[in-house]
Amino acid sequence: MSYTLGKTLLKIDDVGLEYNGKPVLKGVNAEIKKIIRPGVTTGQVVGFLGPSGIGKTQLFRIIAGLNHPTSGKVSINASGEEVKAGEVGVVAQNYPLFEHRTVLSNLIMSAMQIEKDAKVAKDKVLAYLEEFNLSDKAYHYPAQLSGGQRQRCAIIQQALCSEHFLLMDEPFSGLDPIMLEKTCILLDKLANKDDLNTIIVVTHDIITASSIADHLWLMGRDSDKDGNKIPGSRIVKEYNLIERDLCWHPDIAKTAKFGEFVREVKEEFKKL
Domain definitions of the chain by residue range: 4-97+164-270
**Mean pLDDT throughout 207-223?**
94
What's the pLDDT score for residue 99?
92
What's the pLDDT score for residue 77?
84
Q: How far is CA 43 from CA 90, 139, 197, 215, in A?
A: 17, 31, 5, 12
What is the distance between the alpha carbons of residues 175 and 179, in angstroms, rounded to a whole number?
6
What is the distance between the alpha carbons of residues 39 and 60, in angstroms, rounded to a whole number?
33
Q: Is the pTM of this model over 0.85?
A: yes
What is the distance between the alpha carbons of residues 47 and 123, in angstroms, rounded to a whole number?
32
Q: What is the CB neighbour count within 10 angstroms for residue 218?
A: 21
What's the pLDDT score for residue 194?
92
Residue 52 has pLDDT above 80, yes or no: yes
What's the pLDDT score for residue 106?
94
Exposure string for 52-84, b = 16+ CB within 10 A, e = fewer: eebbbebbbbbbbbeeebebbbbbbbeeeebbe
Helix extents (H) in the chain: 56-63, 103-111, 118-131, 147-162, 177-191, 206-212, 256-270
**Mean pLDDT throughout 215-236?**
92
Of 272 and 38, the structure prediction assigns the larger pLDDT to 38
Query: What is residue 158's three-state secondary structure?
Result: helix
What is the distance between the alpha carbons of residues 98 and 29, in angstroms, rounded to a whole number?
36
pLDDT band at 186 (very low <50, low <70, confident <90, very high): confident
What's the pLDDT score for residue 179?
79
pLDDT band at 177 (very low <50, low <70, confident <90, very high): confident
CATH of domain 4-97+164-270: 3.40.50.300
Crossing angle between the packed helical segments 147-162 and 177-191, to the nearest 10 degrees: 20
What's the pLDDT score for residue 144?
95
What's the pLDDT score for residue 159?
84
pLDDT band at 92 (very low <50, low <70, confident <90, very high): confident
Which of 7-11, 36-40, 51-55, 104-108 has the least mean pLDDT?
Answer: 51-55
What's the pLDDT score for residue 268?
93
DSSP conformation class of 146:
-
What's the pLDDT score for residue 132?
83
